[in-house]
A = this chain, B = another copy of it.
Amino acid sequence: VASPPPSGRLTRTETFSDAVFAIAITLLVVDLPFAKVPEGELWRALGDHWGSFVAYGVSFIGIGITWLHHHAIFAHLARVDRTLLLLNLLVLFFVAFTPFPTSLFGEYHERVEDARPAALLYGCTWVFTALTMSALWARACTHPGLLASNVEDQPARRLLRYIRGSAAAYAVGTAIAMVVPILGVALIAPTAAFFLLRSDYRALESEPVEPVA
């Protein structure tokens, strides 16, 4: 059977969230380094800012994967209540905030003393994104009226474990960044990818919608 049609309210929450994700992921580009460089030194100047490009890439992957998780979660909701709307706003708060620590880290990661605070702010933003995401899914799972009826208990609980696992992995990445900033930050991207590929995204999925002939 087909998955439940989203209510109007659900759709609108998704539209708003999609727009915030899309703007945050596109705004990252605004802060890429673009200073006046002396004649003939463009390549070298771009190379000097390699940290900004690493942070840009990691943040793009991070927001992209958070969107995929958000997408998977909302595809299995039947409705939203106020608590879920507020938790969703909290997720969006951290997502919308990411461009700031991304620029900050790109700018300051090569300074001995400033790299650590910049990496801490960067890493914590991702930890909190994952934590609020897991709170969102936990709330949906423990209030069955919110969940679509075709979502099974076992894989739902496993997805929760995976999202929490990613929060823990981000925390480890942040801890490593306290010693070697760029390494800890770079670790966040494969970590996010790992937990995405391991998560029971597929098992949760509703049946493919058959094309109407």
Contacts and interface: CB of A to CB of B under 8 A. Distances in A.
Nearest to A1: B213
A157 B178 CA distance: 51
A208 B145 contact: yes
B78 A210 contact: yes
Interface in A159-213: 201-202, 208-213
This protein's copies in its complex: 4
Given A18-B16, A24-B26, A211 B149 contact: yes
A21 interface: yes
Main secondary structure of the interface of A (DSSP, over half): helix
Contact of A212 (B5, B15, B75, B118): B5
Given A4-B211, A34-B104, A117-B43, A22 B29 contact: no
Contact of A29 (B14, B27, B212): B27
Interface in A104-147: 104, 107-108, 111-114, 117-118, 145, 147
Interface size class of A (residues with CB under 8 A): 35 or more
A100 interface: yes
Contacts of A68: 82, 85, 89
A148 B211 contact: yes
B16 A96 contact: no
Q: Which of A26, A60, A67, A117 has the most CB of B within 10 A?
A: A26
Contacts of A3: 7-8, 212
Top 8 nearest A-B pairs by Cβ distance?
A19-B22, A40-B113, A78-B211, A7-B209, A42-B114, A23-B26, A4-B211, A149-B211
10 contacts: A3-B7, A8-B75, A10-B209, A12-B75, A14-B15, A15-B19, A22-B23, A29-B99, A43-B117, A60-B93
